[in-house]
Structure 1
Amino acid sequence: MLNRSKLLFCALLMSSAGTLPAFAEAEQDRITRITAPTSDFSRPEKYEIMQAGAATHRKRINGDAFSHPSANMAFDRRLYFELGDGIFKKMWVSAPASTKSSDGLGPLYNARSCQRCHLKDGRGAAPDGLQAESGSVALLLRLSIPPQNADDHASLKSGTAPSIPDPVYGGQLQNFATPGQSAEATVTVTYEETPVPLPDGTIVSLRKPVITLTGPGYGPFREDLMISPRIASPMIGLGMLEALSEEDILSWADPDDRDGDGISGRGNRIRSKLGQEVMLGRFGWKANQATLKDQVTDAFSGDLGISSSLHPANAGDCTPAQTACIAAPDGGDARSGNVEVNDHLLDLVTFYSRNLAVPARRDVGNPAVLAGKKIFYGTGCIACHRPKYVTPRDPLRPEQSFQLVWPYTDMLLHDMGDGLADDRPDGFADGREWRTPPLWGIGLTKTVSGHTHFLHDGRARNLLEAILWHGGEATTARNRVIALPTRDRENLLRFLNSL
């Protein structure tokens, strides 16, 4: 007979697939009423302080605010969280090494551990100048090329492939390499500044990154190479986003803008390596990962060069054109199917990622915060930043089961205009579309990460800059914010910083 610990771990493994039950029909009306956006801004809403339901933590707010487990986690599940934390922080080394459980890094890589990108489980910072620290990346670059033939077009149209990788440099640029190998390039980031005057006389300077690649290690870059920079997103609340029902998410989609409000969100569709089917994308800046395990294994492969059962290539993102990289020693273990991180460790990291708790709101009853909340709703921001959901019941994921959560995202793709366009398709997302990021925890970015860099490439140095970069479907809401009196704009920012 299995003991309780083994039963719990079996449940942990089963819960990696991402399939959730639907709501009971009898309770749907009640849930609809609860999750409807409020029109009363005279006081906080019931349970509003608990952004992730019972999983919300109310521990001391400091630099570790994003690193606590789900508050409703049973004691006997804490072990899996702590073990996952250890693997998340593990510093991997190149093969061969005396410690077999830690070798297999690279040969090409962006970071030596998950923690080096998601420092303290928080948001990555945009670099200024040369990225020079070995084994850590502030900004990674997604790479792809336009479809070259009918098969490429078919793969993109079906969701089988998110993009067409460069035949030499792959789908991601790795700017570090293990000894004896050549890094793919040196990345330098500079910025172009544009002043934006506001009606009250305030001048806001918006900066746009300019990426320079030098010293290509495997031949010149193609003229048609498409490059899109990324900073790491915060890790909190991911399990709740994975738990949301697909039906609930897509209920807000309006790809043809039939209601005429100018907002036409739509879901991305991508083939899940875990589920072996095309599924709704939920994670990543363009929603190009369907499940947390897909996200975790893709990061192991692309960022660290660590193979797994879902990404079995021990050379990571190395392409056949990079012959020295393909031939380099690897850390494949015959006991684990000749991969470098086994399924047991992957499930622990996935469990850890699923259960990083969202901190409780601060100052929810402050009059200025309530006034800012009213402005946030009134300017139309909630058309994309959907305030709240109820997650379905799921006995295999008790921490995420049947919780009222407040992520302020619709999880959909939206056209954000020319200013933020990277002109690089990703799955069904075109070069102007981005997934609405969740806002919970955004006001603690400085506390946890030591900076306030926002948007996909960190170009915004504060929340006001992030708002002013909004275009496309968000143009009307942005213009309403620009027109606000100074006090109202400050209250809006107070509300955002309370999340």
Structure 2
Amino acid sequence: MRLQVLLVATLGLAAVVGHAGPGDDLSSPFLDVVPRTEEEAERIAVVTALTGDFSEPEPFEANPGGGATVRARSDADAFSQASGNISFERELDFKVGNGLFRKLWVSSPASTLASDGLGPLYNARSCQRCHLKDGRGHPPNGPDDDATSMFLRVSIPAPPEAPMSEIEAFLLSVRNEETARTRPDPIYGGQLQDFAVQGHPAEYRLGVSWTETEVPLAGGETASLRTPEWRAEDLGYGPLAEDAMISPRVAPQMIGLGLLEAIPAADILAAADPDDADGDGISGRAQIVWSQEHERPMLGRFGWKAGSPTIREQSASAFTGDIGISNPIFTAPWGDCTAGQPDCRAAPHGDGDEREFEIDAEALDLVTFYSRNLAVPARRDMDAPEVLRGKEVFYETGCTSCHTPKHVTHRLADQPEQSFQLIWPHTDLLLHDMGEGLADNRPEGRADGQEWRTPPLWGIGLTPQVNGHSTYLHDGRARSLLEAVLWHGGEAQAARDRVVDLSPEDRAALIRYLESL
């Protein structure tokens, strides 16, 4: 709440609650937010309140994406469908955006002028290569398995005398406290790329080793957790900086992003409790980032630490960092190549006289539209007795303290698919301390080395069907949903311990509920 008050004082009330002119909402670049009436606010408070009745599903629970929900398919395309309420005309844009999302980029110079500009350093040749079937990535399963859907972020601590970014100065001025400040590695930049075009060395090869630990559970059961040790091996441009911090990231699933973007910032900020004023042990914090596109502080929503404010900016960042493609937001034609890699910067690029950027604004908008409208599948088996019991266990153990079940989105005249929908993403989109076990010890924006954004849970039970694996968390260390729960620490330690103490039947019911989402 204190952050919300400070944002109001610094940016104006409209920047927080969206009650002013076009584009003033802190949450997004929406130009047509319709303010809620008091009557609507009261209705929304009732419909989003936590239930205490677990005898049957709640009204509309079958449709986690509201009107945008689609039938749950039984094949690998379950995450690749357009919003269920999309018009025929707008579905054409979705399909064109899908083509651009799947498009394979090639190195310059090339005869395919609309597709050249790859790299010179890159992690994948297309968006689809990381987000296979629009689902989640996985860590390498052995020495012969590649890491295409995963990479390492890298940064170094900034010296105390380093100039602050606009957002850092803003946070210092309103909170009167130090913020974690980092800088890219002087040679390797902000993330490590494991591929390069011909004539250039790749930056590294991802290495990992695992240590198994057995965890006893009530009822005589046990589980095994694997702890990773991540390494940047075969470095192509010399050693990393001595104080370099690395953080592994798997590609997250893509469904429901437009609906998450449409949750009012005021609702998210209202749930923040950075000082744990209510004493429940949960102290979610809002991630506030500097938007490169809109040149102002905005609420971070996307990425494992909520480092991007909008789908468009997240997409543009992935184009430049993952594929090396310049765009209207991140304009460098060489992607993540640094001044310490002069040959990379001097290599041929895909921009020039015929086009300003390697992907232009229209194409970026189509990719954004596609990402915004990847639909959430309908719930499965939600009225099964074991699933209903699992839901009750989910609520009783305190999981809803961070995995907020329901939200209602903005009214958006030009985005009918996301407009005024009751959705069930099971996230508060806030940063939470998840303990030392999950810590990457690398700050990002306001997030410290132990904080992560609460990930949405919708569709999580379809991961094996879509992607052929069942690995979870930011680095894929968890090989099952139970393992993912058992890795929870910090603010979630008490909830995790309650799960350990459950009877085997209730623990199985909890997992069954998660699989139904």
User: Could you state the TM-score of these two structures normalised by the residue count of structure 2?
Assistant: 0.91
Q: CA, structure 1 residues 44+162, in 2 after alignment: closer, same or farther (shift >3 Å)? A: farther
Q: For 1:233-248, what aligned pairs fall within 5 Å after superposition?
A: 233-248=252-267
1:37 corresponds to which residue?
A: 50
Report if aligned partners of 1:268, 1:413 keep a CA contact under 8 Å in 2. yes
Q: CA, structure 1 residues 128+78, in 2 after alignment: closer, same or farther (shift >3 Å)? A: same
Letter paired with 2:438: L
Report if aligned partners of 1:286, 1:435 keep a CA contact under 8 Å in 2. yes
1:485 corresponds to which residue?
A: 503
Report if aligned partners of 1:120, 1:448 keep a CA contact under 8 Å in 2. yes
Question: Counterparts of 1:308 and 1:396 in 2: how far apart (Å)?
Answer: 24
Report if aligned partners of 1:156, 1:163 keep a CA contact under 8 Å in 2. no
Three-state SS of the structure 2 residue aligned to 1:42 is: coil
Q: For 1:265-304, what aligned pairs fall within 5 Å after superposition?
A: 265-304=284-323
Question: Counterparts of 1:398 and 1:116 in 2: how far apart (Å)?
Answer: 30
Three-state SS of the structure 2 residue aligned to 1:140 is: strand
1:11 corresponds to which residue?
A: none
Indicate yes or no: 2:429 matched with 1:408. Answer: no
1:263 corresponds to which residue?
A: 282
Letter paired with 1:301: T
Residue 427 of structure 1, aligned match among 445, 450, 473 = 445
2:3 corresponds to which residue?
A: none
Q: CA, structure 1 residues 129+18, in 2 after alignment: closer, same or farther (shift >3 Å)? A: farther
Report if aligned partners of 1:288, 1:426 keep a CA contact under 8 Å in 2. yes
1:207 corresponds to which residue?
A: 226
Letter paired with 2:140: P
Letter paired with 1:183: A
1:112 corresponds to which residue?
A: 125
- The range that moved more, 424-433 or 155-164, is 155-164
1:254 corresponds to which residue?
A: 273
Q: For 1:327-476, what aligned pairs fall within 5 Å after superposition?
A: 327-337=346-356, 339-476=357-494
2:84 corresponds to which residue?
A: 71
Residue 86 of structure 1, aligned match among 85, 96, 99 = 99
Indicate yes or no: 2:206 matched with 1:194. Answer: no
Deviation at residue 251 of structure 1 after TM alignment: 1.2
Q: CA, structure 1 residues 290+47, in 2 after alignment: closer, same or farther (shift >3 Å)? A: same
Question: Counterparts of 1:16 and 1:329 in 2: how far apart (Å)?
Answer: 35
Question: Counterparts of 1:477 and 1:498 in 2: how far apart (Å)?
Answer: 20
The CA deviation string for residues 436-471 of structure 1, in whole angstroms up to 9 with x for no partner, is 000000000000010011000000000000000000
Report if aligned partners of 2:28, 2:298 keep a CA contact under 8 Å in 1. no
1:123 corresponds to which residue?
A: 136
The CA deviation string for residues 200-222 of structure 1, in whole angstroms up to 9 with x for no partner, is 22221111111122221111112
2:161 corresponds to which residue?
A: 150
Q: Which runs of 5+ in 1 are unaligned?
A: 1-14
Question: Counterparts of 1:236 and 1:480 in 2: how far apart (Å)?
Answer: 30
Indicate yes or no: 2:68 matched with 1:49. Answer: no
2:114 corresponds to which residue?
A: 101
The CA deviation string for residues 412-451 of structure 1, in whole angstroms up to 9 with x for no partner, is 0000000001110000000010000000000000000100
Report if aligned partners of 1:146, 1:164 keep a CA contact under 8 Å in 2. yes
Three-state SS of the structure 1 residue aligned to 2:218 is: coil
Letter paired with 2:261: E
Matched-pair identity in %: 56
Letter paired with 2:497: N
- The range that moved more, 269-278 or 243-252, is 269-278
Letter paired with 1:355: N
Question: Counterparts of 2:63 and 2:355 in 1: how far apart (Å)?
Answer: 41
Q: CA, structure 1 residues 312+101, in 2 after alignment: closer, same or farther (shift >3 Å)? A: same
Residue 29 of structure 2, aligned match among 6, 14, 17 = 17
Residue 151 of structure 2, aligned match among 140, 146, 152 = 140
1:495 corresponds to which residue?
A: 513
Three-state SS of the structure 2 residue aligned to 1:207 is: strand
Q: Which runs of 5+ in 2 are unaligned?
A: 1-26, 172-179
The CA deviation string for residues 113-165 of structure 1, in whole angstroms up to 9 with x for no partner, is 000000000010111344764xx613210100001233355567337998411
Q: CA, structure 1 residues 361+159, in 2 after alignment: closer, same or farther (shift >3 Å)? A: farther
Question: Counterparts of 2:236 and 2:358 in 1: how far apart (Å)?
Answer: 25
The CA deviation string for residues 23-45 of structure 1, in whole angstroms up to 9 with x for no partner, is 22331001100000111000000
The CA deviation string for residues 227-278 of structure 1, in whole angstroms up to 9 with x for no partner, is 0000010000000000000001111110000000000001001011222111
Report if aligned partners of 2:167, 2:297 keep a CA contact under 8 Å in 1. no
- The range that moved more, 33-42 or 217-226, is 217-226
User: Could you state the TM-score of these two structures normalised by the residue count of structure 1?
Assistant: 0.94
1:5 corresponds to which residue?
A: none
Question: Counterparts of 2:123 and 2:290 in 1: how far apart (Å)?
Answer: 24
Report if aligned partners of 1:43, 1:370 keep a CA contact under 8 Å in 2. yes
Question: Counterparts of 1:372 and 1:118 in 2: how far apart (Å)?
Answer: 30
Q: CA, structure 1 residues 258+208, in 2 after alignment: closer, same or farther (shift >3 Å)? A: same
Question: Counterparts of 1:63 and 1:305 in 2: how far apart (Å)?
Answer: 28
Deviation at residue 59 of structure 1 after TM alignment: 4.8
- The range that moved more, 147-156 or 105-114, is 147-156
Question: Counterparts of 2:471 and 2:331 in 1: how far apart (Å)?
Answer: 34
Q: CA, structure 1 residues 395+449, in 2 after alignment: closer, same or farther (shift >3 Å)? A: same
Residue 324 of structure 2, aligned match among 298, 305, 315 = 305
Report if aligned partners of 1:156, 1:162 keep a CA contact under 8 Å in 2. no
Question: Counterparts of 1:334 and 1:428 in 2: how far apart (Å)?
Answer: 40
Three-state SS of the structure 1 residue aligned to 2:213 is: strand
Deviation at residue 385 of structure 1 after TM alignment: 0.2
Q: How many correspondences in the alignment?
A: 482
Q: List structure 1 runs of 4+ shifted beyond 6 angstroms.
A: 159-162
Question: Counterparts of 1:53 and 1:76 in 2: how far apart (Å)?
Answer: 21
Three-state SS of the structure 2 residue aligned to 1:100 is: coil
Question: Counterparts of 2:475 and 2:516 in 1: how far apart (Å)?
Answer: 23
Q: CA, structure 1 residues 461+216, in 2 after alignment: closer, same or farther (shift >3 Å)? A: same
Question: Counterparts of 2:104 and 2:198 in 1: how far apart (Å)?
Answer: 16
Question: Counterparts of 2:375 and 2:313 in 1: how far apart (Å)?
Answer: 20
Report if aligned partners of 1:81, 1:352 keep a CA contact under 8 Å in 2. yes
Report if aligned partners of 1:16, 1:293 keep a CA contact under 8 Å in 2. no
